[in-house]
Amino acid sequence: MTLLTIDGLKMYYRSDDGYVRAADDINLELERGQTLGLVGESGSGKTTIARSVIRLLPDNAEVIDGSIDFDGTEITELSERALRKQIRWQEVSMIPQNAMNSFDPVYTVGQQIVQVIRYHEDGVSKKEAKDRGRRLFGELGIDPDRVDDYPHQFSGGMAQRAMIALALCLEPKLILADEPTTALDVVIQDRILETITGMQEEINSAMILITHDISVVSETSDRIAVCYGGRIVEQADAETIITNPRHPYTLGLRNAFPDIGDTDTDLVSIPGTPPELVDPGEGCRFAPRCPFAVDECWDVTPQPEEFDDGHIVECHRADEADELRERAEQKETWEEVRERPSQPQGAGGRR
Amino acid sequence: MSLDTPSESTAAQAEGGTESIDRRKLRWRRRLNALRSWGSLLKEDRLGQIGLAILAFFILVGIFARPITVEIGPVWSQVQPFSLAPHGYTDRVATEGLHGPTWAHPFGTTDLGRDVLSQVIIGTRATLIVGTIAAFMAVFIGANVGIVSAYYGGWVDDVLMRITDIVYGVPFLPFAIALVFILGATLVNVIVAIVLILWRGTARVVRSQVLSHKQRPYVESARAIGASDFRIMYVQIMPNVLPLISLYAAFAVAWAVIAEASLSFLGLGPQGMISWGEIIYDVRSAGALREAWWWVFPPGIAIMLFVMSVFFIGRSLEKVVNPDLRHGK
Amino acid sequence: MRSNSRRSFLRSVGVAGAIGSASLAGCFGIDEGDDEEVGEEVPEIQFVYPTSGANPDRSELGGLIADNMEEIGFEVDRQELDFDPHVDQTVGNHDFDVSLLGWGGTPERIDPHIFLMDMHHSDFTGEGGRNTPGYENPDYDELAEAQAQEVDEEARRDIVFEAQAMLAEDQPRCYIANEGGDHPYNSERLESVNPTLGEGLNGFWNFMLAEPADDVDQVTFGYSSDIISLNPMQDLATPDRQFIRLIYDQLYRFGEEGEPIPWLAEDDPEIDEDGTTFTVQIREGHSFHDGEEVTIDDVLFSYELFAEYSPTYSVYLDPIEEMETDGNEITFHLSEPDATFTRNALAQIYIFPEHIWSEIDDPTQQDDEEYIGSGPFQFQAWEREVEMQLTSFDDHFEPPVMDTLIRVPGDEDALMDQIEAHEIDMLGNDPTPTQADRMDEDPDIGLATFEAIGHAKLAYNMRRDHMDDVHIRRAISYCVPKEAFIEDIRGGMGTVTHSPIAPVLEDWHNPDVMEFTEDLDAAREELEEGEYVWDGDDQLHYPAE
Amino acid sequence: MGLREYVVRRILQLVLTLWALVTLLFVLFRMVPGDPTTRFVMEYPTDAERQARIEELGLNEPLYVQYLEYMGQLLRGEFGDSTHYREPVSQLIFPLFMNTVVLMFTALLIAYTIGILFGAAMGWLRGSRFERGGIVAVLMARSSPEFWVGIILVWLFVFQFGLFPRSGIGGYGGELTMNFVDRYVNFDFLRHLFLPALTGAIVYLATPALLMRNTMLEVLKADFVEMKKAEGLPERTVLYKHAARNSVLPLVTVAAIATGAAMGGSVIIETVFNWPGVGREMVASVSRNDYPVAMAAFLLMGTSVIVMNFVADLAYLYLDPRVKYE
């Protein structure tokens, strides 16, 4: 059963130079209990897309078009109050990248858990709320007595677990995990990720896992969407994205991380910088960095095209995927892009 | 904002004395940068613009308030013949004293039949004189103490900073009151009393900023090529702390004007001239506060506007010094 | 202040409009100044007068006088000083040519003695002495001494008149005006007040007789400074005396007309024929605030105490050779006749309880925190700068009308506001003309008008050569706009005078002395008479040799 | 430098500063033209008596002797006798000092409470019309000298509306007590306190408001503010319970410094409202050449400044978030 449907969403930021098209023509679906991996570089729009679900966006963000249907509720038309009271944390919670900084330093973790429980659930006493926090701490492998500690008394990994406790305390239907392990030690990363998915299954909530690291989502997600330049350039079930990607950007991403695909290939990063999102004009946004770009790519914006069941790609050469995949594994292919005379870019800095 | 451009200056220094013109250019560019960045900020800063406009207005009023005559021995020349104030501030223009605004006297008259408008116009001068001279001297002393203290460090720093601490322990207004009362209420004493305290703030902030500049490569390379201490302090470092100094100068003007007004209000203002604070003192000693609103409001509002204009300018200068304060996404 | 303003008070009215346009005319110029047939320039006149902070009215007057002096050819060095430095520089150090100061008047000064003796006799010319001008005239000294010893009133009056005439001609001082005034009170809360000569509502008889309205049980009285001390063994300021005499009694009090009337004494003193023996009988059955009876021993003790310790009053007791008591009688034997003994000694020495003050080692320190006296008011409580509380002493033979008296010190302008806001009931200070106008229109506020015996005056420093010339002094006296001072600056409060003894003291004031009012032509004539000349710039010079 | 060493050094510095203040005071007040007997010059018929008074006051001694005696006196905790009132200065000055402390503390309490809330709101609504207007209003208040604010308030609340008493600290005729509660905790006193305290509050409001706004802008960039919004907490909770709560720490030190400075700034307010405090007494005693009182008043105000600066430094040590939270 579908929990979340994003349909044709255009979420732009106003700026002095015009709209920044942070999320452009987004279409996504998420089933209950499922995990969606949202992969992309920084500035690709993945965070904007995820946060649109709870409208946790800067003041200058504006929904230009499209809809977000969460469990039958139209998010874009919801009042601030209703959004706060019914959606945020009650239905959709969040695990941020940096747990340490995401706790208010002047209150204990327990106080912050109690605060959010008591705000959203009527008639819960402080003690009950705190007990729930202690139970969660226990389940997450933290000494329950530490609910009375201040955030700065926790280590990084512990703080992240405490944050998970906070995220789960209302048993939400959806968890937005925004790079939840990036700030952590590699050794702890996996354990935290396991903890998250374990708990997620236990309370049967869905999750959007945002990361720039495709290897993270490959293991935990049911479905993966790849973002580039404010658009979702390719989405499919996890298996398909890993084994049979069709978009050159996905190919490039795959190369950038060692554990996927052939282990003996060299690590190759995608040369160039993410595109300018103010008034990007016609043409594929990846074209300037794409080793396979042809004239059509520069002039015509590719439209989503469905291949196998649910495998949607925005690329003019998606049907040549098999050939491109082979070439993409060669380091030289990407090096060429670097030497190519760069296409003129818009003036001014990025947002 | 590029207040410090170490690479430029290092390069210039490295070339030695032969390319002095280029070097000077760079130096000036560096100095002007701060000013220019303030200028460009000001374009978007409404408060800064309003502040400048009000200040300019008061300066013009001050200059043209009364004719200025310069006397050297028996020779005198009138350098500024214009008189904005219709009357002298002690002229009795009405026979019956205290009277509200009329066409002839838009701000009314005092209990002794003097024209309030003229007094307020002429009072601008005292404010300008005390404000600018006291602030300039205070900032001059403060900046030098700060630079010398930070640059030489060691016992020089210790001594100067202890003195600064001590001055920080002196309550401003009571000190000024005592000093002016003891030495006499003259313009010079009022300014001295203000300056003796006011320099402390500038000294502290300039010192801490110079301390950070002292570590930068451009200072080290200047030292390496044998530049004198004086040169490094005043040619190399000074331009970089200039925006900060000008910010403190703006605040110093504000505090000096408020202090002068407060002293005048207590009857300790500079004698031989009228100031806004003194006008209010006159209202009070005439016992006319209750009804003579036309007499007490104009000087009060003038003080407020003047100080406010300086604060507005200070705020926009502050954005040059501390870019984090700028709005913007 | 205002030293560079070119202003003549009367002229500038109406003419001022032209000044602005005139100033546009000139651009460059050279002051001319060559002269023939004149001697040395008359030295610059060092004129000391109050700042507007110390005394706004007199400060304004000082400016006008200086303007006039410049007008007739003097060069003037204007020195505006606050009260203390002013007194110190002029009375203390004699560093002045002309000084504008006042002289307070209290009932003790209703007798002409201080004005004629202390202020003009050559014994008092030292630094700090009251003869500030340094006036030394043997003829005058004789008159001053004679009036003090003349016990016969008529004869004494003749001497006093003659002395005044001499002072007016010699002009060691220019007497300007008696600055009488109006003290405001709340006419809703007070049925009546009783201002007295020279003191207004500060007067003893005001506190005694002021009548509160029916439901008013306490009267608040404001004054612009706090009491320094209630101990008369210390130096006293006038406001202190005004409250000490409420708490302590004397043998005689100054009555409402300024004449000594029997108080603790049963009757007028018996004076023997040569005027050297004074006998006083005291009232019986009167007690101190603590219930102890007032005895003749207390009286004797007090006179001895004051003779030994009081810096102010001991001089009045100097003539006493011996005192003796008998029953309820005390007799004073004087070394020489003294016409002022009743006023100065009998009416000013307070009677202290011996049973308390004999225990005190150093009477100049205040150790009696209860301030036990026998006066019509009883001390209750006192917090400095806040308030002093007195209540009526109901066992007194003449208790005051009011029950409770609260004395509130404060800044004058705030006190004036407070009386208008009905926060206090009466005030011992003069309102400014502006405030007086306002209070005049306020139906709830009354103004108690009174005449002054003190005055504003110029002192000329006759120790300096150029000031030792009577023509110079008279010429400057002609520069003083006495009328304008009263009418325009003081809004009509006060009276113009030409003599040290106020016109209101009809018994002593000589109305027919030489008068000096603002008259610049007369001033020039006076100078011509002294053979002074003017140069091309109208500057005053001594005649050519 | 360890914490202990720092504190010790800071205390030594405190002592040095106090000594310098005392010395400065001594020098300053020996520059006065004239002497304390001036006031009574008319009461002294002879030079000798005046001289006796000067000797009594010890003003004939060489300066260094006077200086040493003054220092010794202070070390014994005495201020000497008032030359005007002839009584121990301490007896005179402490009730006045208490009045000043009560007045300025109230003023600062109001200023910091309102300033912090207002500044937090300005920071929260950055870029809004409210913020811009708020800044102008706050600067306007700060640009007005205390006497001007006081005069406006008197004009409005006393002359026009007649709502509050004009001056003083209480109605007259009540019990004169030094007991803190009896003296200050009553309706009549509070009525008298209102206008002068409000005057101070208006003038002192700017510092906490502007500073709060600036730290708010910093704090609002912190992740936890975003997080608290994500938790769905109401805006007011996020603003005041979290963002403002974090921004307020640096203000504690500023408040300490301001408290010290306010004791000196009370002069004008006390003069306008006839408040029997130490500042007004200083002006009065200076003008009557009563050195001991003027010096004691000055010293109390200066000591407040120095001690509160010291407290501010220590508070900073304990409150610096980097020390505490990282």
The reported pLDDT for the residue numbered A267 is 56
The reported pLDDT for the residue numbered B27 is 61
Residues 6+ apart with CB under 8 A from A150: A105, A106, A107, A108, A109, D325
- The candidate with the shortest Cα–Cα distance to A195, out of A142, A147, A156, is A142
CB contact under 8 A, B75 and C7: no
pLDDT tops 60 at residue B18? no
The reported pLDDT for the residue numbered C367 is 66
On whether the CB atoms of residues B306 and B299 are closer than 8 A, the answer is: no
Tokens of C212: 């509160």
**pLDDT digits 0-9 by tens, D128-144:** 899 989 999 999 999 99
Distance CA C145, CA C321 (A): 20
HEC profile of C247-312: HCCECEEECCCCCEEECCECCCCEECCCCCEEEEEECCCCECCCCCECCHHHHHHHHHHHHHHCCC
- The candidate with the shortest Cα–Cα distance to C107, out of C8, C205, C189, is C205
- The candidate with the shortest Cα–Cα distance to B283, out of C323, D78, D272, is D272
Residue type (1 letter), C355: H
The reported pLDDT for the residue numbered C406 is 95
> Which of chain D's residues have a Cβ under 8 Å away from the Cβ of A87?
232
On whether the CB atoms of residues D305 and D126 are closer than 8 A, the answer is: no
Q: How far is CA C26 from CA B76, C22, C537, in A?
A: 10, 8, 19
On whether the CB atoms of residues A129 and A183 are closer than 8 A, the answer is: no
Burial (CB count <10 Å: 0-12, 13-18, 19+), residue D184: middle
Q: What percent of chain A has pLDDT over 90?
A: 15
The reported pLDDT for the residue numbered A203 is 86
CB-CB neighbours of B90 under 10 Å: 22
Domain extents in chain D:
3-75, 93-319
* Mean pLDDT to the nearest integer, B24-33: 64
* Mean pLDDT to the nearest integer, B15-39: 60
- Helix, strand, or coil here: A294? coil
On whether the CB atoms of residues C286 and C374 are closer than 8 A, the answer is: yes
Helical packing angle, A156-168 and A126-139, nearest 10°: 130
Class level of CATH domain C248-365: alpha beta
The reported pLDDT for the residue numbered B10 is 39
The reported pLDDT for the residue numbered D251 is 84
Distance CA C467, CA C97 (A): 7
Task: Enumerate residues 55 to 84 of chain A having a beta carbon within 8 A of any beta carbon in chain B.
Answer: 58, 60
Angle at B130 between CA B125 and CA B132, to 5 degrees: 95
Contacting chains of A (3 CB pairs or more, <8 Å) are: B, D
To the nearest whole angstrom, how far is the Cα of A172 from the nearest Cα of chain B? 33
Q: Quote the ipTM score.
A: 0.78
Architecture in CATH of C181-224+376-450: 3-Layer(aba) Sandwich (3.40)
pLDDT band at A328 (very low <50, low <70, confident <90, very high): confident
CB contact under 8 A, D176 and C383: yes
**pLDDT digits 0-9 by tens, A118-145:** 999 888 899 999 999 999 998 888 899 9
CB contact under 8 A, B92 and C9: yes
Tokens of A258: 């060692």
CB contact under 8 A, A150 and D325: yes
The reported pLDDT for the residue numbered C7 is 33
Helical packing angle, D129-143 and D187-204, nearest 10°: 110
HEC profile of C419-436: HHCCCCCEECCCCCHHHH
On whether the CB atoms of residues D95 and B295 are closer than 8 A, the answer is: no
* Chains A and D touch, using 3 or more CB pairs below 8 Å: yes
- Helix, strand, or coil here: D212? helix
Tokens of D258: 């301001």
CB contact under 8 A, B90 and C433: no
pLDDT tops 80 at residue D37? no
For chain A, the domain total comes to 2
The reported pLDDT for the residue numbered D113 is 93
**pLDDT digits 0-9 by tens, A247-292:** 888 888 877 665 554 545 555 667 777 777 777 778 888 888 888 8
pLDDT band at D2 (very low <50, low <70, confident <90, very high): low
Q: How far is CA B230 from CA B25, B161, B284, in A?
A: 20, 20, 52
User: Of B24-28, B70-74, C268-272, C307-311, which one has max mean pLDDT?
Assistant: C268-272
Residues 6+ apart with CB under 8 A from C338: C148, C149, C275, C276, C319
- The candidate with the shortest Cα–Cα distance to C129, out of B259, D60, D42, is D42
Chain D CB within 8 Å of residue B325 CB: yes
Domain extents in chain C:
41-179+453-532, 181-224+376-450, 248-365
Residues 6+ apart with CB under 8 A from B255: B135, B172, B194, B198
The reported pLDDT for the residue numbered C262 is 94
What is the rounded average pLDDT for all residues in chain D? 84
To the nearest whole angstrom, how far is the Cα of D182 from the nearest Cα of chain B? 30
Residue type (1 letter), D195: L
The reported pLDDT for the residue numbered A25 is 87
Q: How far is CA B76 from CA A203, C2, D84, in A?
A: 96, 21, 50
Which of A139, A171, A203 is the last residue in one of the domains? A171
Chain B CB within 8 Å of residue A17 CB: no
CB contact under 8 A, C413 and B86: no
Tokens of B13: 């220094």
C-alpha dihedral over D81, D87, D91, D95, to 10 degrees?
Answer: -110
Residue type (1 letter), A205: S
Of D130, D215, D227, which to mutate for an interface test with A (greatest number of A Cβ within 10 Å)?
D227
Chain D CB within 8 Å of residue C404 CB: yes
Nearest CA in chain C to D151: C414
State the count of interchain CB pairs (< 8 A) between B and C: 112
pLDDT by 10s per residue, chain C, length 545: 333 333 333 333 333 333 333 333 344 555 554 555 778 889 999 999 988 777 888 988 999 999 999 999 999 999 888 777 788 788 878 899 999 988 877 666 777 888 888 889 988 887 767 888 999 999 999 999 888 888 788 888 999 999 999 999 999 999 999 888 889 999 999 999 999 888 889 999 999 999 999 888 899 999 988 888 888 787 667 788 889 999 999 999 988 877 889 999 999 899 888 888 999 999 989 999 999 999 999 999 999 999 888 877 887 888 899 999 998 999 999 998 887 888 888 988 999 999 998 888 888 776 677 889 999 999 999 988 889 999 999 999 999 999 999 999 988 888 998 999 898 999 999 888 888 888 988 999 999 988 888 889 999 999 999 999 999 999 999 999 999 999 888 888 888 999 988 888 888 899 999 999 999 999 999 999 988 999 888 889 988 76
> Which of chain A's residues have a Cβ under 8 Å away from the Cβ of D125?
none
What CATH number has the domain spanning D93-319? Answer: 1.10.3720.10
pLDDT tops 70 at residue D42? no
Burial (CB count <10 Å: 0-12, 13-18, 19+), residue B190: buried
Chain A CB within 8 Å of residue D232 CB: yes
**For chain D, how many helices (H) and strands (E)?**
16, 0
Distance CA A53, CA A71 (A): 11
Domain coverage including residue A135: 100-171
Q: Higher-confidence residue: C333 or A183? A: C333
On whether the CB atoms of residues C498 and C175 are closer than 8 A, the answer is: yes
The reported pLDDT for the residue numbered C361 is 82
CATH of region C41-179+453-532, choose from 1.10.3470, 3.10.105, 2.60.120, 3.30.160: 3.10.105
Beta strands in D37-148 (DSSP E): none
CATH of region B85-327, choose from 1.10.4190.10, 1.10.3720.10, 3.10.520.10, 1.10.260.40: 1.10.3720.10
Which run of H or of E encompasses C98? strand C98-103
The reported pLDDT for the residue numbered B329 is 29
Q: What percent of chain D has pLDDT over 70?
A: 89
**What residue has token string 């100061």?**
C101
